Structure 1
Amino acid sequence: MAKYMLLIYGDAAQWEAMTPGERAAHDAAHRAFAEAAGSRIVGGGELETAPSATTVRGGADGDLITTDGPFLDTKEAVGGFYLIEAGDLDEVLALTALLPEVAAAHSAVEVRPMVFHG
């Protein structure tokens, strides 16, 4: 079985502007995804918005340099993730299609296989 990271991207302003009904439908869709994926979900979670990020780099003198905010300044940011274990990419794509971010105009889901180091 291979592992795949599902990175959920979107416009945080759009997520924050959801009505309570839209939020409930969104959450229900994630519960349906989790039920369909079952034990194939190895991990996952919703992230705080991008401005709460801290970016860490190594300085020329070996010190750590921290910067408030995300590494990239973009409208769309990672809002959450799932780590899925599945037989192949087709299985993962079929599950990914259940996520509400796939159908929303302001978001998308990036699927990446994880490297296996033997």
Structure 2
Amino acid sequence: MTTSGLYLVILSAGLTVTANILLRIGIIRAGGLGGNPAELLNSLFRLVSQPSFDIGFLLYGLASLVWFRVISTEPLNIAYPLLVSMTFVLVTLGATVVFHESMTFRQLAGLAVVLTGIVLISGK
């Protein structure tokens, strides 16, 4: 993987993580997403009325465009595991910091294993 490819994977992961956090903030502020079909349209309207949700949605689109660039130039068997593992670790940490979700020792150990995998995959 090239250095520029690695930077683009990191950028795509960062955008994806930020998008996920903003989407969740928007969904929480909108009162959730209605479960029954009668409430769905009203729930969707409340969602798109939330700036956090809208920005998160746009960032997801931007992350996709960056990702398209990555997969057009870099080996998918390296880029994809890096993207997924980075987003896994960063979303988990972001949820802990932003939403005060609990983090168990088992989760921390799992994150350490994933981080080790990132180092092994991205190293030359």
TM-score range, shorter chain: 0.3 to 0.5
Which has the higher relative contact order, 1 or 2, with Cα contacts under 8 A spaced 6 or more apart? 1
Q: Which one has a larger percent helix, Structure 1 or Structure 2?
A: 2
Q: Which one has a larger percent strand, Structure 1 or Structure 2?
A: 1
